[in-house]
């Protein structure tokens, strides 16, 4: 499992608009990379909307939001359009990014075990290292929790610079 201080795994994957997105595209920014099980499901929609609504606050902290699931480019594009999402959604149909970040793990539902995407989030700093992880996320209040962590982290970094 990835932890604070680790180098974030590099990736190259298609986004909702068909362009290839890579970790290096976000060098110099705080990247909030979040993984979700399936586009347009209730929990995933609530989580995406919370990030959408807080995006301006994140931008003020030099932070960008990127969502990632195993859905197709088409499913991601429909999800983004339907809910007017203002950040990229990665279509990781091969699970390369999802596996690299450890977001695909054994889950259970009604007593049945299966391999699935666990809702999780990574804050990757401008230098490409992981600043904080949320390995199991509860949707309610999650975007606000991430925002508070980035605000606190940036304050601490700012006060350490003279």
> Has residue 17 been placed in a domain?
no
The predicted pLDDT at position 159 comes to 56
* Dihedral, CA of residue 33, residue 112, residue 40 and residue 146, to nearest 10: -30
pTM: 0.93
Farthest CA pair distance, the chain = 55
SS3 118: coil
Tell me if 96 is assigned to some domain: yes
Tens-of-pLDDT digits for all 162 residues of the chain? 899 999 999 999 999 999 999 999 999 999 999 999 999 999 999 999 999 999 999 999 999 999 999 999 999 999 999 999 999 999 999 999 999 999 998 777 788 887 789 999 999 999 999 999 999 899 999 999 999 999 998 888 765 544
Contacts of 160 (CB under 8 A, 6+ apart): none
Asked whether residue 107 is domain-assigned, the answer is yes
Domain count, the chain: 1
Neighbours of 53 (CB within 10 A): 11
Which residues are known to be catalytic? 44
Spatial neighbors of 146 by CB under 8 A, at least 6 apart, are 32, 121, 123, 134
Q: Is residue 5 part of a domain?
A: no
pLDDT the model gives residue 107: 78
Confirm whether 122 is domain-assigned. yes
Q: Is there a domain that residue 130 lies in?
A: yes
Q: pLDDT value at position 162?
A: 42
Residue that the structure tokens 């929790």 belong to: 145
Residue 10: inside a domain, yes or no?
A: no
Which range marks the domain in which residue 93 is found?
26-160
CATH number of the domain to which 110 belongs: 3.40.30.10
Decide if 55 is inside a domain. Answer: yes
């Amino acid at each position: 499992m990835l932890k604070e201080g680790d180098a974030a795994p590099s990736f190259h994957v298609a986004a909702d608009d068909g362009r290839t997105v890579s970790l290096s595209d976000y060098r110099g920014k705080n990247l909030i990379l979040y993984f979700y099980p399936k586009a347009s499901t209730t929990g995933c929609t609530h989580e995406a909307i919370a990030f959408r609504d807080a995006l301006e606050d994140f931008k003020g902290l030099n932070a960008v939001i990127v969502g990632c699931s195993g859905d197709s480019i088409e499913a991601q594009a429909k999800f983004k359009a339907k809910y007017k999402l203002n950040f990229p959604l990665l279509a990781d149909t091969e699970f390369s990014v999802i596996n690299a970040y450890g977001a695909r793990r054994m889950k259970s539902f009604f007593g049945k075990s299966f391999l699935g995407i666990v809702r999780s989030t990574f804050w990757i700093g401008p230098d490409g290292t992981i600043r904080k992880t949320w390995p199991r996320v509860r949707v309610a209040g999650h975007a606000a929790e991430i925002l508070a962590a980035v605000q606190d982290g940036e304050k601490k970094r700012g006060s350490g610079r003279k």
